[in-house]
């Protein structure tokens, strides 16, 4: 029986492979024409991914249950946005299924037993993903012991699983079982909201259940140029008034903030967060002013330049640069307090701290009018991370400073000397600080173009020894 032809209870039984079908599902599905996305998937997805999705459907069928791909993948497929984050929901035991799937594909398996979910990491990659992974969960309903607690997992049907999700546009599923492969399951008007450009929650308790969705609403709205609908906006305001953020884990807020800063144009979301009075949950002193807007813009241009430059091989944490900008009005103490409160990783906190400690001093030093040997710039910039250096570049409005930074990045920073410590020992240097200092002096001389060859380096060393 073909699901597109008729929308009867029988069809849904086929779809759900004999599992008891919730009557609400049948009623809802009967209301609108069913859309099959198989052709769109074939056109949009790499053949390898398509084969993988079909295999999941086939394996689920062998085990006599239904499997779906859900969430952001479905949303982006409909919107023609590339997204290879595959979240699978099965109406069966996800962990058991994941084990069989990992075996079959020679992937490695990570089990999250508490949540009844598993991740299978493939031995191959797709696009920018070095190793392709698939997350597999059991269709479930979440009971919340009290608002904002971590979910308590309970087995249930697909509809319940989708109903507990954040927004209608993220609450659609595609059937993977071969019989109905590609069938869109949309109980909550997700497809219509995508067409209309609306971000809408599924129920009134959504932000109470998970306050991080307050950030997520803004992120999706601004990413796609959508509009949070009025009822959802009112619920956000209510949750903010009730200080729901205070009740959720700071690390989850941090993760959402990082995701916002990783968006293509994070300023749009930051502006909207300011409008909705969300920024104060990060810190009351973070202010949305014109100079913040222009600093974000300049950082964006700087990152774009970096990614086209010869430096691009070294990855850059753009989001951290935007975070530094967001902390522009704060002193070092406040910035550190935020990093501790939200448990930013040690390396991230250290880069923020060094920006706060050194940033203004370095800029002041480099704004000097007098001629400055490249080695002086090198000494100041070398200890700093690329993120800090590039924020300084973005922030500097003086062309002299900018060209000094560029010269460091593209030239001085790469210069190496041929002389080694052993060479210096052979010349008569004793091991210790003096030897290290001599190596540095040779490097600085080379950076400043005073010497060129290994012979020059050694004769400079001999002079120093005298």
The nearest distance, CB 85 to ligand CTP, in angstroms, is 5
Q: How far apart are CA 208 and CA 148, in angstroms?
A: 6
The nearest distance, CB 313 to ligand CTP, in angstroms, is 26
Residues contacting residue 48 through CB under 8 Å, at least 6 positions apart: 124, 126
Count residues binding ligand CTP (CB under 6 A): 13
Check binding of 166 to ligand CTP (CB under 6 A): yes
The nearest distance, CB 440 to ligand CTP, in angstroms, is 46
Between 64 and 85, name the residue whose CB sits nearer to ligand CTP. 85
Between 197 and 421, name the residue whose CB sits nearer to ligand CTP. 197
Position among 191, 212, 248, 419 found at the interface with ligand CTP (CB under 6 A): 212
Q: Find out whether 330 and 285 touch, Cβ atoms under 8 Å.
A: yes
The nearest distance, CB 61 to ligand CTP, in angstroms, is 24
Assigned token pair, 97: 């299924």
Between 249 and 374, name the residue whose CB sits nearer to ligand CTP. 249
Q: Find out whether 49 and 121 touch, Cβ atoms under 8 Å.
A: no
Cα first-last separation, the chain = 94
Q: Find out whether 206 and 217 touch, Cβ atoms under 8 Å.
A: no
The nearest distance, CB 271 to ligand CTP, in angstroms, is 19
Check binding of 210 to ligand CTP (CB under 6 A): yes
Residues contacting residue 416 through CB under 8 Å, at least 6 positions apart: 443
Interaction pattern, residues 57-96, with ligand CTP; x per rule: CB under 6 A: --------------xx----------x-x-x---------
Q: Segment contacting ligand CTP (CB under 6 A): 1-9, 29-37, 209-217, 450-458?
A: 209-217
The residue among 413, 463, 466 whose CA lies nearest residue 443 is 413
Query: Phi and psi dihedrals of 61, rounded to 5?
Result: -60, -40
Check binding of 213 to ligand CTP (CB under 6 A): yes
The nearest distance, CB 296 to ligand CTP, in angstroms, is 20
Strands 198-199 and 227-228: parallel
Between 81 and 410, name the residue whose CB sits nearer to ligand CTP. 81
Cα 145 to Cα 89, 151, 250: the distances in Å are 23, 8, 19
Q: Among residue numbers 298 through 327, which ones bind ligand CTP (CB under 6 A)?
A: none
Cβ-proximal residue to ligand CTP, closest one: 72
Position among 16, 140, 165, 283 found at the interface with ligand CTP (CB under 6 A): 165
Query: For residue 179, how many other CB atoms are within 10 A of its CB?
Result: 16
Strands 86-90 and 133-138: parallel
Q: Among residue numbers 365 through 394, which ones bind ligand CTP (CB under 6 A)?
A: none
Between 223 and 332, name the residue whose CB sits nearer to ligand CTP. 223
Interaction pattern, residues 133-152, with ligand CTP; x per rule: CB under 6 A: --------------------
Q: Find out whether 45 and 1 touch, Cβ atoms under 8 Å.
A: no
Q: How far apart are CA 455 and CA 443, in angstroms?
A: 13
Q: Segment contacting ligand CTP (CB under 6 A): 39-47, 207-215, 358-366, 372-380?
A: 207-215
Q: How far apart are CA 431 and CA 368, in angstroms?
A: 37
The nearest distance, CB 76 to ligand CTP, in angstroms, is 7
Position among 117, 156, 170, 354 found at the interface with ligand CTP (CB under 6 A): 170
Q: Segment contacting ligand CTP (CB under 6 A): 31-39, 97-105, 136-144, 164-172?
A: 164-172
Q: Which residues pair with 137 in a beta bridge?
A: 89, 117
**CA trace torsion 346, 350, 353, 358 (10° rounding):** 180
Supply the DSSP symbol for 155.
Answer: E
Query: Could you list the residues that contact ligand CTP (CB under 6 A)?
Result: 71-72, 83, 85, 87, 165-166, 170-171, 210, 212-213, 216
């Amino acid at each position: 029986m073909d699901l597109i032809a008729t929308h009867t209870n029988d069809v849904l039984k086929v779809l759900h492979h004999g599992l008891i079908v919730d009557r609400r599902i049948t009623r809802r599905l009967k209301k609108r024409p069913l859309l099959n996305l198989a052709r769109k998937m074939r056109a949009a997805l790499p053949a390898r991914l398509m084969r993988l999705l079909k295999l999941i459907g086939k394996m689920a069928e062998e085990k006599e249950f239904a499997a779906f791909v859900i969430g952001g993948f479905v949303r982006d497929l409909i919107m023609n946005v590339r997204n290879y984050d595959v979240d699978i929901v099965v109406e069966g035991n996800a962990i058991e299924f994941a084990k069989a799937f990992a075996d079959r594909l020679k992937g490695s398996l990570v089990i999250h037993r508490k949540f009844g979910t598993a991740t299978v990491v493939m031995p191959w990659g797709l696009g920018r993903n070095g190793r392709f992974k698939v997350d597999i969960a059991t269709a479930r309903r979440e009971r919340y012991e009290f608002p904002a607690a971590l979910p308590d997992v309970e087995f249930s049907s697909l509809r319940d699983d989708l109903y507990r999700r954040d927004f209608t546009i993220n609450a659609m599923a595609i059937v993977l079982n071969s019989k109905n492969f590609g069938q869109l399951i949309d109980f909550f008007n997700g497809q219509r909201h995508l067409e209309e450009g609306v971000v809408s929650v599924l129920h009134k308790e959504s932000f109470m259940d998970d306050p991080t969705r307050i950030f997520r609403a803004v992120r999706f709205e601004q990413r796609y140029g959508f509009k949070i609908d009025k009822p959802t906006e009112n619920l956000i305001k209510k949750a903010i008034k009730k200080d729901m953020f205070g009740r959720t884990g700071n690390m989850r807020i941090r993760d959402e903030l990082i995701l916002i800063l990783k968006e293509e144009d994070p300023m749009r979301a930051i502006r909207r967060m300011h409008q909705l009075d969300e920024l104060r949950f990060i810190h009351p002193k973070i202010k949305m002013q014109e100079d913040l807007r222009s600093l974000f813009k300049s950082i964006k241009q700087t990152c774009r330049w970096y990614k086209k430059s010869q430096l691009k091989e070294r990855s850059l944490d753009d989001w951290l640069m935007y975070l530094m900008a967001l902390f522009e009005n704060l002193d070092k103490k406040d910035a550190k307090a935020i990093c501790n409160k939200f448990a930013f990783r040690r390396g991230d906190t250290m880069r923020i701290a060094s920006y706060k400690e050194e940033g203004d001093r370095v800029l002041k030093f480099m704004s000097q009018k007098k001629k400055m040997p490249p080695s002086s710039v090198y000494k100041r910039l070398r200890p700093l991370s690329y993120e800090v250096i590039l924020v300084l570049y973005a922030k500097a409005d003086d062309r002299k400073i900018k060209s000094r930074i560029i010269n460091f990045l593209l030239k001085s920073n790469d210069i190496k000397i041929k002389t080694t410590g052993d060479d210096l020992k052979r010349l008569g240097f004793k091991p210790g600080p003096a030897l290290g200092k001599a190596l540095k002096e040779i490097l600085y001389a080379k950076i400043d173009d005073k010497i060129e060859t290994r012979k020059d380096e050694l004769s400079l060393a001999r002079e120093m020894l005298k």
